[in-house]
Amino acid sequence: MSEIRQIGVLTGGGDAPGLNAVIRALTKSAILRHRLRVIGIMDGFSGLVDLKTEELELRDVRGILPKGGTILGTTNRGNPFKYVERLSDGTERIIDASGIVKENFTRLGLDALVVIGGDGTLAIGRELMEQHGIPVVGVPKTIDNDLARTDRTFGFATAVGVATEALDRLHTTAESHHRIMLLEVMGREAGWIALHSGIAGGADVILIPEIPFSLEPVIAKIWARQNRGSAFSIVVVAEGAHSKDGDQVFQSVDPVTGWKRLGGLSYQLAPVLQDKTGHEVRVTVLGHIQRGGTPAPLDRILGTRFGCEALNLVMRGEFGNMVALNGEDIVAVPLAEATNRLKLVDPQGQLVANARALGVVFGDEDPDDVLDSE
Amino acid sequence: MSEIRQIGVLTGGGDAPGLNAVIRALTKSAILRHRLRVIGIMDGFSGLVDLKTEELELRDVRGILPKGGTILGTTNRGNPFKYVERLSDGTERIIDASGIVKENFTRLGLDALVVIGGDGTLAIGRELMEQHGIPVVGVPKTIDNDLARTDRTFGFATAVGVATEALDRLHTTAESHHRIMLLEVMGREAGWIALHSGIAGGADVILIPEIPFSLEPVIAKIWARQNRGSAFSIVVVAEGAHSKDGDQVFQSVDPVTGWKRLGGLSYQLAPVLQDKTGHEVRVTVLGHIQRGGTPAPLDRILGTRFGCEALNLVMRGEFGNMVALNGEDIVAVPLAEATNRLKLVDPQGQLVANARALGVVFGDEDPDDVLDSE
Amino acid sequence: MSEIRQIGVLTGGGDAPGLNAVIRALTKSAILRHRLRVIGIMDGFSGLVDLKTEELELRDVRGILPKGGTILGTTNRGNPFKYVERLSDGTERIIDASGIVKENFTRLGLDALVVIGGDGTLAIGRELMEQHGIPVVGVPKTIDNDLARTDRTFGFATAVGVATEALDRLHTTAESHHRIMLLEVMGREAGWIALHSGIAGGADVILIPEIPFSLEPVIAKIWARQNRGSAFSIVVVAEGAHSKDGDQVFQSVDPVTGWKRLGGLSYQLAPVLQDKTGHEVRVTVLGHIQRGGTPAPLDRILGTRFGCEALNLVMRGEFGNMVALNGEDIVAVPLAEATNRLKLVDPQGQLVANARALGVVFGDEDPDDVLDSE
Amino acid sequence: MSEIRQIGVLTGGGDAPGLNAVIRALTKSAILRHRLRVIGIMDGFSGLVDLKTEELELRDVRGILPKGGTILGTTNRGNPFKYVERLSDGTERIIDASGIVKENFTRLGLDALVVIGGDGTLAIGRELMEQHGIPVVGVPKTIDNDLARTDRTFGFATAVGVATEALDRLHTTAESHHRIMLLEVMGREAGWIALHSGIAGGADVILIPEIPFSLEPVIAKIWARQNRGSAFSIVVVAEGAHSKDGDQVFQSVDPVTGWKRLGGLSYQLAPVLQDKTGHEVRVTVLGHIQRGGTPAPLDRILGTRFGCEALNLVMRGEFGNMVALNGEDIVAVPLAEATNRLKLVDPQGQLVANARALGVVFGDEDPDDVLDSE
């Protein structure tokens, strides 16, 4: 095993609160404990293709712990194996730039590469190691908390916090006005944010991708509440939630413009619910405020620990792994096991069962049972 | 002037953070200082038609200061002069129920009525006084801060706070991703929330109803920022903002469903901006979280002082007035002067000029000047 | 096993954010799913001695999820086995009132008792079961997170959140003024809050009870930072931290009044640090704001799940257990195993090692190493 | 009037949230609108003596709007007219360095100096103008809001916000535990923060410097509340509050160490209140978290407008003035009128009267009246 003197670090995919905590911890422990040089690679893998880098020193990571975003920039594009090259005539073509990445890795004098990102980014890291022998350590990132093999990912606590605060605010105005409030939160494949914030914020209905919904039990819940004297209801919708009914398609694509968008589902649901219940419905689409801003303490701690332990993996030469939270400990997990598998909400699990015990409706209930249960 | 022993209080129109502060201050000072009885009237004027009331005692207002909404309930309907009566056959008809209000006022043994609400609610209060001799004192409420004759209204500080926090969060994710973030805030007629939160949150573009916009200077601003190395921009849009161009109509009505909605304008603007700038655009529609939740300290203080001084007006027999903030003092203003007049943002005023000096674009600029100025 | 129709619930010991979430979940699931009656016992066990109770219905637990404190009241006194009885002549005597508790339990027609509290409260519950056959289920509560056999307790996340926000605020003013900021947080026996918030808030020094400190490495850290150009430092002190030096005793008892108090340690440390470093030192003692106010989402979710699963234990007749968090699941743990054992920070553990890797000083370092390491 | 091409800016005295907003607005509008160069002077006037400066460009002020503190650094020392010079032998002497300041002002090629600070800093600015002809414009800063001639100062809203949030948190724990909570807030000469946060946070007792207090009415209030069933009380204490009784001196100096400190008064009051009421008392000393951290929106807006209008004064050559808030407008006020005068709370004013009407006790009441009034 060769000595480690210089490491590169990049962030890929969507941003998540806690990315800067990872970068800071990695950089501080690398410099303070091991006297390494740390090279920051800008805008994900594209910075390795285009050689956009800058050395990270202690002063560069000072004060970034409470900051959202990533000081390295990030992008959803930039897969070096399918790199979009812009030609001088303005056209584009897709090339395999992974060889360039390998060359640049060597040219920069890097001894290891720390790749912080989601499923896709980690898979690219793994491929760079397998095909080009680049020593890679991964740090998992997904605000949706849907990555297999780690108990939690950073960013999730912040997103749940933002959504819960929104629910608290909606509660008071819903109550005063006898209204139905629809809150759309993130979660394309997995409903973790909707489920956690829905429980924390006392939602009456939670619609998640893992449990396709019908309108009937939702409407039954609103009626049941009204019969009991609660003339308002709070509905949390994950952006990826969808109806199980063939006859009425609720989805998050604008039927006119074809523009896929946040809010698509909610703005379809709202008028229908208004029609069928007679209550006014109001929609809030949190969008990117869920993934921006100062990270929750938990996300800062998890990011910090991921950064420290990623460096430890590098120093021990345990490449091809990513760090992961397992109970109270940060452990190493092979990248091969972590990618291409989603961690979804278990509709039969304890967390959903707890919510159901409180009367929360997920949309798969028998409407009569909902009416009776209140 | 007859002795005051019992007063009624109601809240009308949309809710605003600080309503409970008014109710609490009115009730506490009425009971503690003057040994009055306070009758809470539920759901606005409709509670006076249908006789839904309950006496407010000290324990009823305990702990409500930090709570959003209104413990009395509120409604946008219920004008007693145009009251919607539901008949036994399910149909509705509109009647003048103001006489019933007068009867119920007497039957309840009320000596005065405190009416907390916006322009419409205060106008009804004034009409009840003029036509039926009900002694009315008003407390102005509008989250948009667009009521004439009072420097500020409660709820506004809370709304600006929520919008500013959203902007802070959007900044970090916009920066990391080189994106354009559109934030839609409240403000149908007046752009106060957009303007204040836009300045506090460091927005690059602020679109308000008082300044009809063109797309060109907005796009010029985004380009100018990119040329300077800032590959992201933050755009704040008041829901009532609108284009000045005849050829491209931006408005907040859904072109397909006809459903007037929050987000309407933003979801039209977003794809156009994306097309013309090549940057990804993301939309957040705050909706009712701006008017819910715990009130900002300023709104609690203003609501408290309004409540105390409204009672002072009652005790001094100064009916037909509303309380208003004038500098540091709460003063009395005739209802006749306060209603039917909006306080709009002055496009030539100091606040807008300050924002322009920082490079904020409002959409009425010459695009070339915008490009040059950076 | 007799049928369960009516259960009692009480909260004992200090309050913690999330208590109301437990009460709400227990009550809602008991009523909605099992048609039980729920009797709230006021002010801990003393409510069972003095028969201060009230039935909890759905409306009593509405809206309490985001509220701190406990709607049942609580007290640190009231152990029925050593009950302080006030006699008519004003004197007090200590009696065994556990028999009275048994009688009242029967008189109230209770079939089970849910006891929410810390180590002491749970031990009393266990004794009531062992000596008097009262069927008890426990819910663990400690804001310090130092209870054995559960991964986390509710309230902890809120406390860490409050302390972290304070550190964020102190950072900016410390930096502008070149000052040392001392923040004292809770933690008499265990330093979890100091450690978590210290990492999340980017502290330079963290003093916890588990690691007795010397002044020298602390001072060395402040000097080392100054040499590097950071003329400010942030020190987090757990209230139970103490010096390992015999010659200079730092403790949390006021040397003059003998009054044990929050801030005791910090106010002794501050002038000494000021003397030895030449920097101005400022002290903040968070005190009870750490345990009050709206619970963090995590605490609401944990409290809610504890409440649901405590009821499940009751319905399955699994008495003598408490609920506990184990990974992602709520499990049952015998009360006998959970009480009388503290979960302390492991000075050799991964979390402390991570903090040390970032340069955080705990006060047990060699001062020369500290000076060198920066 | 000579042309303005280059201006200097410094911050003096304690920091206040909003300082960076002033610096940013000044710099952005100077560069974008007038193509000036802006020289940042570090650590107050001492940077003009020691020539510690750096040019501020647009990128230097990017992202600082939501940041507390001041990017220029500040100090409470550094009066050039009484400058503390450190000699090579380690001793110090006090010299008049104002001539050096004048020389350096010229050497730097500055055409104007913008001085952001409190009473003391502004007075120095005025003296530099009068004695040395340096063209000075002032920006007032005091977190205590006690500066004459401006309606508000930035930082005040943030401090009131932090204190109000602390009161919200203390309320829930006080209520659950039947305790007295003492919160000490800033305010040496003026009680504005205590008064505003006390009203916003629903305090029962507010002690401010402007109204010397006796213990008797305070104790009467606590008893009166207990008689009414509220076995807890919230007391807000401004750090500069003091007793009017000769026999029992409450002050903020530690009787043993002589160390003047935050918390001094509260820690004396606490055991006495505990003794006399039989309730447990808990103390929180907010300290510097009141002046740190992200500024409230209002403070950002006020700081921004002050910065813009200070530059306008410079460009119009209106030196010797400071900017000030007057109603909704920023106006110019002669420095001579603004310094050496404090704006204190009027014990007979409307704001105090409003608080009294709610039953708030200030400590100057007749104890019997307090007991009767509840």
Q: Tell me the DSSP string of A142-210.
A: -TT--BTT-S--TTHHHHHHHHHHHHHHHHHHHHHHT-EEEEEE--SS--HHHHHHHHHTT-SEEE-TT
pLDDT value at residue B85: 84
Element (H, E) at B165: helix B156-177
| C247 pLDDT more than 50 | no
- Calculate the alpha carbon distances from B241 to B191, B211, B264, B352, B362 in Å: 8, 8, 11, 15, 10
What is the CA A216 to chain-centroid distance, rounded? 30
Tokens for C236, please give them.
């987090």
**What band does C263 get if pLDDT is binned at 50, 70 and 90?**
low
Answer yes or no: do D304 and B374 touch at CB < 8 A. no
Which of the pair, D263 or C302, is modelled with greater confidence?
Answer: C302
pLDDT value at residue C227: 87
Averaged over A259-273, what is the pLDDT?
Answer: 73
- ipTM attached to this prediction: 0.93
User: Buried (b) or exposed (e) across D100-113, using 16+ Cβ within 10 A?
Assistant: bbbebbeebebbbb
Answer yes or no: do B298 and D350 touch at CB < 8 A. no
Answer yes or no: do C200 and A297 touch at CB < 8 A. yes
pLDDT value at residue B246: 55
**Taking all residues of chain A, what is their mean pLDDT, rounded to a whole number?**
91
* Beta-carbon-side half-sphere exposure of residue A318 (alpha carbons within 13 Å): 15
Range name among A331-335, B276-280, D194-198 with the lowest pLDDT average: B276-280
| C261 pLDDT more than 60 | no
**What band does B255 get if pLDDT is binned at 50, 70 and 90?**
very low
Is some CB atom of chain B closer than 8 A to the CB atom of D301? yes
The 10s digit of each residue's pLDDT in D35-74 is 999 999 999 999 999 999 999 999 999 999 999 999 999 8
**Taking all residues of chain C, what is their mean pLDDT, rounded to a whole number?**
91
Among B288, C288, B32, C284, residue whose Cα is nearest residue D168: C288
Count of all residues that appear for chain A in the document: 374
Q: How many degrees, rounded to 5, is the angle at CA B163 between CA B158 and CA B166? A: 130
Neighbours of chain B (3+ CB pairs under 8 A): A, D
Instruction: Give the percent of chain A with pLDDT over 90.
Output: 73
| A259 pLDDT more than 50 | no
Nearest CA in chain D to C286: D284
Range name among A88-97, A319-328, B92-101, C258-267 with the lowest pLDDT average: C258-267
In chain B, residues with a C-beta closer than 8 Å to the C-beta of A285 are 263, 283-285, 287
Averaged over D170-198, what is the pLDDT?
Answer: 92
| B311 pLDDT more than 70 | yes
**What band does C258 get if pLDDT is binned at 50, 70 and 90?**
very low
Neighbours of chain D (3+ CB pairs under 8 A): B, C
Query: Are B83 and B96 spatial neighbours (Cβ–Cβ below 8 Å)?
Result: yes
φ, ψ at B204 (rounded to 5°): -90, -30
Range name among A322-326, B172-176, C8-12, C184-188 with the lowest pLDDT average: B172-176
Nearest CA in chain A to C301: A200
Answer yes or no: do D267 and C261 touch at CB < 8 A. yes
Alpha helices in chain A (DSSP H): 19-34, 46-49, 98-107, 119-132, 156-177, 192-200, 215-227, 264-277, 297-315, 335-338, 350-357, 367-373
Is some CB atom of chain D closer than 8 A to the CB atom of C34? no
Averaged over C94-119, what is the pLDDT?
Answer: 96
Active site residue A144: yes
Burial of C6 (0-12, 13-18, 19+ CB in 10 A): middle
Nearest CA in chain B to A290: B169
pLDDT value at residue A304: 98
pLDDT value at residue B248: 55
In chain D, residues with a C-beta closer than 8 Å to the C-beta of B25 are 354, 357-358
The alpha-carbon gap from D297 to the nearest alpha carbon of chain B, in Å, equals 5
Alpha carbon distance D94, B55 (integer Å)? 70
D12 CB neighbour count, 10 Å cutoff? 28
pLDDT value at residue C245: 67
- Strand pairing of B136-140 and B112-117? parallel
| D143 pLDDT more than 80 | yes
**What band does B329 get if pLDDT is binned at 50, 70 and 90?**
very high
The 10s digit of each residue's pLDDT in A208-218 is 999 999 999 99
**What band does C84 get if pLDDT is binned at 50, 70 and 90?**
confident
The alpha-carbon gap from B286 to the nearest alpha carbon of chain A, in Å, equals 6
Averaged over A172-178, what is the pLDDT?
Answer: 83
Among D155, D239, D145, D160, residue whose Cα is nearest residue D198: D160
Query: Are B200 and D301 spatial neighbours (Cβ–Cβ below 8 Å)?
Result: yes
A103 CB neighbour count, 10 Å cutoff? 15
- Strand pairing of D329-334 and D281-285? unpaired
Alpha carbon distance C298, C158 (integer Å)? 8
Give the 3-state secondary structure of chain D: CCCCCEEEEEECCCCCCCHHHHHHHHHHHHHHHHCCEEEEECCCCHHHHCCCEEEECHHHHCCCCCCCCCCCCCCCCCCHHHEEEECCCCCEEEECCHHHHHHHHHHCCCCEEEEEECHHHHHHHHHHHHHHCCCEEEEECCCCCCECCCCCCCCHHHHHHHHHHHHHHHHHHHHHHCCEEEEEECCCCCCHHHHHHHHHCCCCEEECCCCCECHHHHHHHHHHHHHCCCCCEEEEEECCCCECCCCCCCCCECCCCCCECCCHHHHHHHHHHHHHHCCCEEEEECHHHHCCCCCCHHHHHHHHHHHHHHHHHHHCCCCCEEEEEECCEEEEEEHHHHCCCECCCCCCCHHHHHHHHCCCECCCCCHHHHHHHC
Query: Are A80 and A50 spatial neighbours (Cβ–Cβ below 8 Å)?
Result: no
Answer yes or no: do A169 and B257 touch at CB < 8 A. no
Query: Are D7 and D111 spatial neighbours (Cβ–Cβ below 8 Å)?
Result: yes
Which of the pair, A269 or B252, is modelled with greater confidence?
Answer: A269
pLDDT value at residue B238: 95
Q: Which own/partner contact pairs does C98-101 have at CB distance under 8 Å and 24+ positions apart?
A: C98/C127, C98/C128, C98/C131, C98/C132, C99/C132, C100/C48, C100/C49, C101/C45, C101/C48, C101/C49, C101/C128, C101/C132, C101/C134
Query: Are D94 and D83 spatial neighbours (Cβ–Cβ below 8 Å)?
Result: yes
The alpha-carbon gap from D83 to the nearest alpha carbon of chain B, in Å, equals 36
Averaged over A47-59, what is the pLDDT?
Answer: 95
Tokens for D328, please give them.
């909704």
Answer yes or no: do B297 and D197 touch at CB < 8 A. yes
In chain A, residues with a C-beta closer than 8 Å to the C-beta of B165 are 293
**What band does A368 get if pLDDT is binned at 50, 70 and 90?**
very high
Instruction: Give the percent of chain B with pLDDT over 70.
Output: 94
| D263 pLDDT more than 70 | no
Query: Are A187 and A145 spatial neighbours (Cβ–Cβ below 8 Å)?
Result: no
In this prediction the pTM is: 0.93
**Looking at chain D from residue 62 to 91, which residues have their Cβ under 8 Å from any Cβ of chain C?**
67-70, 73-75
- Calculate the alpha carbon distances from A148 to A113, A125, D261 in Å: 22, 17, 52
Query: Are C268 and C184 spatial neighbours (Cβ–Cβ below 8 Å)?
Result: no
The 10s digit of each residue's pLDDT in B132-182 is 999 999 999 999 999 888 999 999 999 999 999 999 999 988 888 788 999
The 10s digit of each residue's pLDDT in C355-367 is 999 999 999 999 9
Range name among A67-71, C270-274, D47-51 with the lowest pLDDT average: C270-274
In chain D, residues with a C-beta closer than 8 Å to the C-beta of C230 are none
Answer yes or no: do A168 and B284 touch at CB < 8 A. no
pLDDT value at residue C309: 98
Averaged over B349-361, what is the pLDDT?
Answer: 97
| A36 pLDDT more than 80 | yes
Mutation pick from D305, D316, D325, D345 vs chain B, by most beta carbons of B within 10 Å, is: D305
Answer yes or no: do D25 and B357 touch at CB < 8 A. yes
The 10s digit of each residue's pLDDT in B41-88 is 999 999 999 999 999 999 999 999 999 999 999 877 789 999 988 888
In chain A, residues with a C-beta closer than 8 Å to the C-beta of B291 are 173
- Calculate the alpha carbon distances from C41 to B357, C132, D363 in Å: 63, 18, 37
Instruction: Give the percent of chain C with pLDDT over 70.
Output: 94
B258 CB neighbour count, 10 Å cutoff? 9
Instruction: Report all structural domains of chain C as residue ranges with CATH numbers, in order of start.
Output: 6-154+293-338 (3.40.50.450), 159-290+346-373 (3.40.50.460)
pLDDT value at residue B259: 46
Element (H, E) at B86: strand B83-86
Tokens for C261, please give them.
């108090």
pLDDT value at residue D247: 47
pLDDT value at residue C116: 97
**What band does A178 get if pLDDT is binned at 50, 70 and 90?**
confident
- Calculate the alpha carbon distances from C117 to A358, C2, C43, C140 in Å: 22, 26, 12, 5
- Name the residue among A157, A202, A350 with its Cβ closest to that of C330: A350
Is some CB atom of chain A closer than 8 A to the CB atom of C200? yes
**Taking all residues of chain B, what is their mean pLDDT, rounded to a whole number?**
91
The 10s digit of each residue's pLDDT in C199-238 is 999 999 999 999 999 999 999 999 999 888 888 999 999 9
| B254 pLDDT more than 60 | no
The alpha-carbon gap from C208 to the nearest alpha carbon of chain A, in Å, equals 18
Answer yes or no: do C359 and A328 touch at CB < 8 A. no
Torsional sign, CA B364, B237, D58, D72: positive
Averaged over D107-124, what is the pLDDT?
Answer: 96
Averaged over D355-374, what is the pLDDT?
Answer: 92
Q: What is the DSSP letter of B76?
A: S
The 10s digit of each residue's pLDDT in B75-94 is 777 899 999 888 888 788 99
Which listed residue (B111, B144, B204, B299) is catalytic?
B144
Neighbours of chain C (3+ CB pairs under 8 A): A, D
Alpha carbon distance B58, B31 (integer Å)? 8
- Calculate the alpha carbon distances from C366 to A14, A216, C216, C221, C348 in Å: 42, 68, 8, 11, 16
Mutation pick from C23, C65, C162, C172 vs chain D, by most beta carbons of D within 10 Å, is: C172
Among C2, C6, C104, C93, residue whose Cα is nearest residue C51: C104
Averaged over D358-372, what is the pLDDT?
Answer: 94
pLDDT value at residue B265: 81
**What band does D251 get if pLDDT is binned at 50, 70 and 90?**
low
Is some CB atom of chain C closer than 8 A to the CB atom of A328? yes
Query: Are B211 and B362 spatial neighbours (Cβ–Cβ below 8 Å)?
Result: yes
Is some CB atom of chain B closer than 8 A to the CB atom of A273? no
D88 CB neighbour count, 10 Å cutoff? 5
Torsional sign, CA C24, C26, C32, C37: negative
- Calculate the alpha carbon distances from A155 to A190, D143, D223 in Å: 15, 34, 48
Nearest CA in chain D to B161: D297
Alpha carbon distance D251, D238 (integer Å)? 11
The alpha-carbon gap from C362 to the nearest alpha carbon of chain D, in Å, equals 23
pLDDT value at residue A251: 62
Averaged over B345-357, what is the pLDDT?
Answer: 97
φ, ψ at C24 (rounded to 5°): -65, -45
| A269 pLDDT more than 70 | yes
**What band does C162 get if pLDDT is binned at 50, 70 and 90?**
very high
- Name the residue among C58, C329, C354 with its Cβ closest to that of A350: C329
